[in-house]
Structure 1
Amino acid sequence: MEDISDVEIIAPNFKRRLSGVTSTIIQLVPVQRALGQKVATLGPGLPEALPHIGYGALLKLWARPRGRRLRVWHARRNVEMLPAVFLRDVLRMRLKIVFTSASQRKHSGWTKFLVRRMDAVIATSNRTAAYLDVPSTTIMHGIDTQRFFPATDKAAAKTVLGLPADRKIAGCFGRVRHQKGTDLFVDSMISLLPQRPDWIAIIAGRATPAHVAFENDLKDKVKRAGLADRILFVGEHTNIPEWYRALDLFIAPQRWEGFGLTPLEAMATQVPVVATDVGAFSELLSTGKDETGILIPANELAAMTDAAALLMDDPQRARLAGERGLARAIESFSIRGEASSIGAVYERLLSGA
């Protein structure tokens, strides 16, 4: 438990179940601390290793932290903005509030009400910023290249996971559900694999109880196509970077996404990408002369199938796209760069600028 006197930034997480926001906090806070940002988390659902304060520490927010006039509260959900507004405006505690928005849809009246009361707003992409009615700073999510990096031996990377070393592998990672487009990936592989005996496909991710029937329908469809030994549902894994390193092609088939880190994780492991034009994918991928992958319209199975075929059937194009993706991830999307940019927002507020 951290001494609240030494905490300048509070990062609340008021949702127990693992989500993209929770994952962001887990990955970002250690990097922020390494950069000298005095951040501590608050709330459930986070690893014990993260610096943490208890709810009782909130009673001490009237007092200044050491060497500063105030603290920053960094909210990422409505449920985290609301208590901060109460602490600052009703209880008159020494707080400034930052909100990070990843949403790419029109905000509700309640969300707009809360956002207008923020001292600073961060958008995770330019597309997200366009949905905000207040000034914002665009800071895109970064990738931890200490965790996500290319395989030095692709065959060995496959073998260690029990996958065939002599096959090429197309992958789709994330929650198994309609919104994530898992069915589009499965349908595209059912179409492509019979003509490509050297390829298999894997789906890594969990179906929550509400989506188990959806997953079972997909498994039944794969069995009926006679491809149960080539389209594999491998479940959820904590060692997901190792699964990326086994891939030869990554497909992000989402129908909707707030930001979406999976294409970036694939790029950092030197894997070419096919991604739908949702979330921040169009800002992550390069599709011109420095191609890192192919961007396709959302919810269009034929486009996904054609794009995957192009990279499956052209090893040179796939290799170059993977190499460029790695370079782009390192140069433009490091998690250290994200943490530094967020730190600059904090500093403006902490210094009263």
Structure 2
Amino acid sequence: MGAALSPEAANPGSARPWAEVTDPELIVANLHRNYTGVSTTIGALLPLQAARHRLWLMGRPLPGGPSAHSLAAALAVSRRPPAGRPFRIWHVRRNVELQVAWLARDLLRLPIRIVFTSVALHTHSFWPRFLIARADAVIATSMRAASLRPNVAGIVPHGVDTGYFHPPADRGQEWAQARLPGRYGIGIFGRVRRGKGTDLFVEALLRLLPRYPDFTAVIIGPCKIRNRSFQATLIKRIAAANLSDRIRFLGEIEWAEVAAWYRRLSIVVAAARYEPFGVTILEAMASGAAVVATRTGNYEAMIEEGQNGFLAKPGNIEELVASLERVMSQPQRMQAMGVAGRQRATAMFGVETEAEGISKVYETLWQGGGR
């Protein structure tokens, strides 16, 4: 969701005792100054990876994570191979991290190998393509992403912590704690902007809420300055329809509250026009909510249409409205979809599966595979 978070509020594993590592075989990069979706992925994986590998987190600290080491410290420790391994692995997920790792390996001649996780579903411009081609191994998060990248060593979808994100004992009671109208909540998570389909979500609910008085909609996520006029226009439209009490912009919330909102909502929507992967739908499924998403990212792999949710064409408001109405019009089916989503998330998209898949790529490199 983006924000500076307190370690205690941001992650239930903040009290985890982390072993001190002086000779890491794995260095996980987190050089972005903001807390982003990539940060969430790294944070969820770190405890599982630390159980498998001697690791360092390099760059910005993460809530509940181990002590973070500086880039300078990572360069210094990487001047020699780690005990028992022919080289250290640097796992990077952003272009700037990939560039730093490439310079460390090829300019400074450090004995490291580079693993890059790629989620993008488009062809990159020249410089990112140049860098990605120089990774020793690329992990793609979907079949489509894999088809666009060289050096793909494995297809490992992102996973979700199904212990942290879990269904409530009573969703009705959870919703009541929100002190909002109606019996059911429907929400969208992420930055308020056109690319995320915030306007499509609002337009769909402007059409549907008058017909379904038991529902109230919430929009959870920050709005950057450049999108303030976009949000203001949506707020005016909502007010003109006399629905200001039933379509609420909640803004950015603390990470500890994100899981609570998933437990309150009966339906979670991802209306993006383009999405590289889409972890919010997995978090919603793990929390037992029915889901409606567009056919972008990895949503088609996550959603078994008619079982745990529905899909709509990106940017198509008519399909989005129809998909939402198929859920909203049948509360019992909506609840059954939430149960099916939880089962699917647990069986197919647990973060443990992601950690295992990544470790297999590491071991292949250490055993002599890769570029």
Alignment correspondent of 1:264 = 282
> Are the structure 2 counterparts of residues 183 and 266 from structure 1 closer, same or farther at C-alpha, using a change threshold of 3 Å?
same
SS of the residue aligned with 1:349? helix
Alignment correspondent of 1:28 = 45
Does residue 276 of structure 2 align to residue 254 of structure 1? no
Contact 1:16 1:45 survives alignment (8 Å)? no
Contact 2:61 2:67 survives alignment (8 Å)? no
Q: 2:252 and 2:331 mapped to 1: Cα distance?
A: 29
Identity across the alignment (%)? 38
Q: 2:125 and 2:204 mapped to 1: Cα distance?
A: 36
Q: 1:49 and 1:137 mapped to 2: Cα distance?
A: 26
Contact 1:181 1:255 survives alignment (8 Å)? yes
SS of the residue aligned with 1:307? helix
Alignment correspondent of 1:337 = 353
In structure 2, what residue type is equivalent to 1:195? R
List aligned pairs for 1:53-92, cutoff 5 A.
53-57=69-73, 58-92=75-109
Q: 1:191 and 1:247 mapped to 2: Cα distance?
A: 19
1:80-114 CA-to-partner distances (Å, cap 9, x unmatched) read 11121121122221101101100010121212211
**How much does 1:60 deviate?**
2.7
Does residue 323 of structure 2 align to residue 307 of structure 1? yes
Q: 1:274 and 1:280 mapped to 2: Cα distance?
A: 13
1:288-313 CA-to-partner distances (Å, cap 9, x unmatched) read 6xx21101100011111111111111
Alignment correspondent of 1:325 = 341
Out of 209, 224, 232, the residue aligned to residue 208 of structure 1 is 224
List aligned pairs for 1:192-231, cutoff 5 A.
192-231=208-247
Q: 2:266 and 2:155 mapped to 1: Cα distance?
A: 32
Runs of 4+ displaced beyond 6 Å:
1-4
TM-score (norm 2): 0.89
Q: 2:154 and 2:303 mapped to 1: Cα distance?
A: 21
TM-score (norm 1): 0.94
Once the two structures are overlaid, the 10-residue window that deviates more, 8-17 or 297-306, is 8-17
Contact 1:5 1:65 survives alignment (8 Å)? no
Aligned length, in residue pairs: 349
Does residue 264 of structure 2 align to residue 241 of structure 1? no
Out of 138, 146, 149, the residue aligned to residue 129 of structure 1 is 146
SS of the residue aligned with 1:172? strand
Contact 2:308 2:340 survives alignment (8 Å)? yes
In structure 2, what residue type is equivalent to 1:347? E
Once the two structures are overlaid, the 10-residue window that deviates more, 179-188 or 311-320, is 311-320
Alignment correspondent of 1:170 = 186
Q: 2:314 and 2:65 mapped to 1: Cα distance?
A: 39
Gaps of 5+ in 2: 1-17
SS of the residue aligned with 1:179? helix
Q: 2:134 and 2:325 mapped to 1: Cα distance?
A: 49
Q: 2:21 and 2:172 mapped to 1: Cα distance?
A: 49
Q: Over the residues paired in the alignment, what is the CA RMSD in angstroms?
A: 1.8
**How much does 1:133 deviate?**
3.5
